[in-house]
Amino acid sequence: MGKKVNRPINSYFGDAMFPINFLHKTVLSSPDATAAIDGDIRCSYRTLGVRSDALGCGIQAVAGKPRPIVAMLGPNDLEMLVALLAIHASGSVVVPLNIRNTAHELDAQVSFVKPDVLIVHKAYLDKVLSFDGTVLVAGADSDDARAMVALEQKYAGKAPEWQAELKDMSGIKFTGGSSGVPKGVMQSFQCVNTMVNSLLLKFDLNSEDRYLCAAPMTHAAGAFILPILASGGAVVMTADSSPGSLLDLIENEEITATWVPPTLLYKLIDEQKSSPRNVASLQHLIWGGAAASPARLLEARKLFGPVVEAIYGQTEAPMMLAAGTANELQGERLTSVGKAGPMTELGILDPDGQCLPDNELGEICGRGPLLMDGYLEMPEATAATIRDGWLHTGDLGMVDSDGFLFIKGRIRDVVITGGFNVYPADIEAVLAQHPAVSDSIVFGVPDDYWGERLEASVELRTGETASTEELMSHCKKLAGPVKTPKYIHLVKALPRSPVGKVLRREARDAAMNRGSAIAPPE
């Protein structure tokens, strides 16, 4: 498969633009500019285009079909970036796997989606338990029969065949918990195009930008790769996500933009406070993926400057349901996730599916070309999530009179205690205002008297101390007795998912297993 080309890369496919074309256009306009940085390696746009084309051609050849399903497992490095772009270049279906998942979880996902090809970095071969298809090993020497680079060299100078249409599936991405049947979200080329264009329109990226891929590129952090390449900027890859290393990169590589989940943002805040770096180059410190503490966001703005921005989406509507720039998110709007994405319609719906007026609380829903096609082989789950054209996120929120979205949390997480609705995010925000608190999670547990008893698990900052009684007194002062947890568990570390989200259910289960000395109500 493949055809010899006289130029490094081809342009659009017919009249349509596909995700890979965001790279193509910069290869044509700025071939010698730096596209990617990985340690001491600097990769030009020309080289990145040639490599991804050749590997894309090789993927089609070993799979024996023009649009194979290709899973990828590896760290943030140049080789895995080439692999990702090669999958896009061949019009194949990408299945990103998270290196932080267990071998058992990865095996379940691979078994469910049945890829034709698995690209795995040599450092993670031990996580591949059973796979009968073709395995390509990134980072392996060229004399290894399975080496990705050998396949790339074999098809050097050739371009893949193109047989995809915009409506076709571009990726299958896993979402949901780690137990039970994996839930694979099907994203079309149109969905990915919408995400990339929305990011470009919202954040005004340009050729001077250097984007630090701080979190796993196989998930939300990787969403910015194509927008940066479309803008002519450079993507800086790193497999080391420790806060000190990231801040060093921001200083040394003059990073202008990065995306981080709140948990990593908090670590960056603490590291910058204890050992400041020069972060003057930073223009876009974008957080997303989970709720963030207002107190910590204020800390971030004070430490890093007016560069703190927000983004909100789900795998079912990637990244850009809403977003807010630093100029928009000031004052009381610092805790907002911004306005509806430029290519998406937002609605706050009541339980009957009717749109609610401004400033009323309801379910956050979205519609437009950003939405997924559905869940792989799960028609009932798809029908329950997309109703009358609206994607039902399961998140609770409201939109103010100026169009700014505020998220209260998951609908299922609301705690009804003694007849009162308590939103965990409100109490987590209160706890975050205590100087000793690094992070917290609030939940309800069954109680014969209260119906649900409000409790919290708290992770303290390194070197700080606080008692349960002190934290409860703090909450009572700021939130009142009804919203004060009846017990606060001090834990060394909160349970987190492979992408860094604090896991409420696991924290709740651990708290119930520990038990708590709750005084009887008066």
- Please tell me the least confidently modeled range out of 174-178, 455-459, 511-515: 174-178
> Is there a domain that residue 79 lies in?
yes
Q: What is the mean pLDDT of residues 153-168?
A: 95
Predicted confidence (pLDDT) at residue 13 exceeds the cutoff of 60: no
Q: What is the pLDDT of residue 176?
A: 66
The percent of residues above 70 in pLDDT, for the chain, comes to 94
- The DSSP letter of residue 350 is -
With contact defined as beta carbons under 8 Å apart, do 294 and 429 qualify?
Answer: yes
Let me know whether 90 and 220 are in one domain: no
Report residue 498 as tokens. 């492979």
**Model-level pTM?**
0.87
Q: What are phi and psi of 399, to 5 degrees?
A: -115, 130
Location of structure tokens 């509806």: 340
Partners of 158 in the β-ladder? 4
Location of structure tokens 């981080």: 260
Report residue 218 as tokens. 């196989």
Choose the final residue of a domain: 411, 426, 457.
411
> Is there a domain that residue 181 lies in?
no
Distance CA 379, CA 375 (A): 7
Distance CA 75, CA 338 (A): 31
> Is there a domain that residue 19 lies in?
yes
190-206: string of b/e by CB count within 10 Å (b at 16+)? Answer: bbbbbbbbbbbebbebe
Let me know whether 126 and 250 are in one domain: no
Q: What is the pLDDT of residue 173?
A: 97
Q: What are phi and psi of 54, to 5 degrees?
A: -65, -45
Q: What is the pLDDT of residue 85?
A: 98
Let me know whether 394 and 462 are in one domain: no
pLDDT in tens, 478-492: 998 889 999 999 999
Let me know whether 389 and 251 are in one domain: yes
Q: Residue 34 corresponds to which amino acid? A: T
- The greatest distance separating any two alpha carbons of the chain, rounded to the nearest whole angstrom, comes to 83
Q: What is the pLDDT of residue 515?
A: 66
> Is there a domain that residue 176 lies in?
no
pLDDT in tens, 445-472: 998 888 899 999 999 999 999 999 999 9
Q: How far is CA 458 from the centre of its chain?
A: 24
Distance CA 309, CA 282 (A): 12
Q: HEC string of 192-228? A: HHHHHHHHHHHHCCCCCCEEEECCCCCCHHHHHHHHH
180 class by beta-carbon count within 10 Å (0-12 exposed, 13-18 middle, 19+ buried): exposed
Let me know whether 348 and 488 are in one domain: no
Report residue 128 as tokens. 């591949």
> Is there a domain that residue 489 lies in?
yes
- The DSSP letter of residue 125 is G
Partners of 309 in the β-ladder? 286
Let me know whether 374 and 225 are in one domain: yes
> Is there a domain that residue 179 lies in?
no
CATH number for position 488: 3.30.300.30
Let me know whether 342 and 299 are in one domain: yes
Predicted confidence (pLDDT) at residue 67 exceeds the cutoff of 60: yes
> Is there a domain that residue 520 lies in?
no
pLDDT in tens, 186-214: 999 999 999 999 999 999 999 999 999 99
Let me know whether 372 and 432 are in one domain: no
Predicted confidence (pLDDT) at residue 403 exceeds the cutoff of 90: yes
Q: Which of 176, 169, 233 is closest to 36 using CA atoms?
A: 233
Predicted confidence (pLDDT) at residue 4 exceeds the cutoff of 50: no
Distance CA 190, CA 463 (A): 49
3-state secondary structure of 248: helix
Predicted confidence (pLDDT) at residue 520 exceeds the cutoff of 70: no
Let me know whether 358 and 332 are in one domain: yes
Let me know whether 18 and 67 are in one domain: yes
Predicted confidence (pLDDT) at residue 306 exceeds the cutoff of 50: yes
Domain total for the chain?
3
> Is there a domain that residue 169 lies in?
no
- Please tell me the least confidently modeled range out of 38-52, 165-179, 410-424: 165-179
Domain span at residue 293 reads 193-411
Show the CA angle centred on residue 369, arms to residues 367 and 373, nearest 5°: 90
Q: What is the helix (H) or strand (E) element at residue 454, kind and residue range?
A: strand 451-460
The CB-side HSE value for 519 (13 A sphere, CA atoms) comes to 5
Let me know whether 89 and 202 are in one domain: no
With contact defined as beta carbons under 8 Å apart, do 495 and 510 qualify?
Answer: yes
Choose the final residue of a domain: 123, 146, 164.
164
Distance CA 12, CA 364 (A): 36
- Average per-residue pLDDT in the chain? 92
Name the more confident of 58 and 3.
58
Let me know whether 404 and 453 are in one domain: no
Choose the final residue of a domain: 411, 431, 456.
411
With contact defined as beta carbons under 8 Å apart, do 79 and 121 qualify?
Answer: yes
pLDDT in tens, 245-295: 999 999 999 999 999 999 899 999 999 999 999 999 999 999 998 888 889
CATH number for position 208: 3.40.50.12780
- Please tell me the least confidently modeled range out of 19-28, 162-171, 428-437, 513-522: 513-522
Q: What is the pLDDT of residue 191?
A: 97
Q: How far is CA 465 from the centre of its chain?
A: 32
pLDDT in tens, 130-142: 888 999 999 999 8
Q: What is the pLDDT of residue 522?
A: 41
